[in-house]
Amino acid sequence: MTTSPPAAAVDFEGIDFAFDDTPELHEILAGLRAAKPYAVVPFAGVRAVLLLTHELVSAAFKDEETFPASAVYPLTTGPVLGRTLQCMTGREHRVNRAIASPPFRRSRVQEYIDPVLAPLAHELIDGFAGRGEAELVAEFTSRYPVLVISRLLGLPPEDERTVRRWANDLFHFPFEPAKALAASREFTGYIIPALRRRRTDPGDDLISLLVTESAEGERLTDEQVLSFLRLLFPAGADTTMLALANTLTALLAHPDQLELVRSDPDEHLRWAVWEGLRWEPPVGLLPRACPRATTWRGIDIPARTPMIFSINAALRDPAVYPEPHRFDLTRRETAMLAFGQGPHVCVGTWLALAELNTALRILLDRLPGLELKQGTENEARIRSQVGVALRGPGVLPVRWMK
């Protein structure tokens, strides 16, 4: 493996990987990966190491010692979300994660489909089904995952509009910090009374489960519950909303694949979901850091170098996925890397998969002949959202047969 120290030179100039969107992102990543498995690139004006292969990204996620999540999240999300799971390590992380995880286990999540996930998808579609056309990001994908979380938390339906505004403001923290901090304060003030009520009179909602569960003899403090609840919006809703829109974009751009799913949803839909996550993972370029100077897998990395785990390059690595740029749900590969790996692997993987499968099944069933409106291909293209880490379309103007 090549061993050029990041201090020496950058391998790519022209875009800053912290800020700049480009329609050619996948081509740029593929070109860099063809030269070597990592690249040194500009990131917020400094040099960062961009990991590009499936092997390196997977190994880096598992190496919490060299690339601790706690070196990044307290700075990037700490001020607005608090000390979340992503900021924790060791025993503190283990205990908090053990308490927060049970409601998101695979078997538990199945119990949410009939009472929560399916009725909610129908409810949103009822709002536009008779019209024959809609803008699916505004009317469905950006609303569904936030409302799922709101309902799992047991919040009253009349508060959902406000909860959506807070979720949206928290999402835009890097560029609108004042709004995000205000949303964080308002959400905290709103949720504390509900939290206190659940401590004395628990029900079967998510907040009750968080306050009654224990691990290693410990329960969560109010602040630990609150930081987990704040994290649920950016980590759980925004990612799923982009995943839903990306898979829809992929299916609409590949009518043969859409037809295949329609021909037998029981057989093909879950593979379309996995292939959507592989083809365009919502968390595309995940920022981390390397606090101490090291030589890792032959790469010399100076102390405090920003790292970028390119999940999107790893999931199009030709060493693992033949013809990687092709959206092909018959490849039947799970794209687990889309959810990270190692100690901080996504807590909500099964919930996200259940939401994606349920929402897509109901959308395709209720909107026959669904297609992108002609002439909107450029407008609806997948782009970077809030910096470049997250990727999804800004709009999805569609029509169908009434």
- Local structure of residue 204 (DSSP, 8 states): S
Segment holding 307, helix H or strand E? strand 305-310
Query: CA nearest 244: which of 354, 85, 327, 133?
Result: 354
CB of 104 to ligand HEM, least distance (A): 5
Compare residues 134 and 149 and give the one whose CB is closer to ligand HEM: 149
Contact flag: residue 232 with ligand HEM (CB under 6 A): yes
Compare residues 109 and 301 and give the one whose CB is closer to ligand HEM: 109
Site string for ligand HEM, 352-391 (x = CB under 6 A): x---------------------------------------
Q: Of the candidates 18, 48, 50, 69, which one interacts with ligand HEM according to CB under 6 A? A: 69
Cα dihedral angle (209, 180, 69, 383), rounded to 10 degrees? 110
317-356 binders of ligand HEM (CB under 6 A): 338-340, 344, 346-348, 351-352
CB of 17 to ligand HEM, least distance (A): 16
Residue with the closest Cβ to ligand HEM? 348
Contact flag: residue 97 with ligand HEM (CB under 6 A): yes
User: Sheet harboring 397-399: ordered strands across?
Assistant: 133-135, 397-399, 371-372
Q: Are 391 and 381 in contact (CB under 8 A)?
A: no
Query: CA nearest 205: which of 149, 145, 143?
Result: 149
Determine the interface stretch with ligand HEM among 160-168, 186-194, 279-287, 297-305 (rule: CB under 6 A).
279-287
285-304 binders of ligand HEM (CB under 6 A): 286
Contact flag: residue 236 with ligand HEM (CB under 6 A): yes
Segment holding 95, helix H or strand E? helix 90-100
Compare residues 119 and 368 and give the one whose CB is closer to ligand HEM: 119
Contact flag: residue 239 with ligand HEM (CB under 6 A): yes
Contact flag: residue 231 with ligand HEM (CB under 6 A): yes
Compare residues 351 and 372 and give the one whose CB is closer to ligand HEM: 351
CB of 147 to ligand HEM, least distance (A): 13
Contact flag: residue 163 with ligand HEM (CB under 6 A): no
Q: How many CB atoms lie within 10 A of CB 304?
A: 12
What's the rounded Cα separation, in Å, for the pair 239 and 231?
12
Query: CA nearest 80: which of 149, 168, 190, 178?
Result: 178
DSSP, residue by residue, 17-74: TTT---TTHHHHHHHHHHH-SEEEEEETTEEEEEE-SHHHHHHHHH-TTTS-GGGTHH
What's the rounded Cα separation, in Å, for the pair 63 and 71?
13
DSSP, residue by residue, 341-372: -GGG--TTHHHHHHHHHHHHHHHHHHSTT-EE
Q: Of the candidates 53, 70, 77, 86, which one interacts with ligand HEM according to CB under 6 A? A: 86
CB of 129 to ligand HEM, least distance (A): 25
List of residues contacting ligand HEM (CB under 6 A): 69, 85-86, 97, 104, 231-232, 235-236, 239-240, 243, 281-283, 286, 338-340, 344, 346-348, 351-352
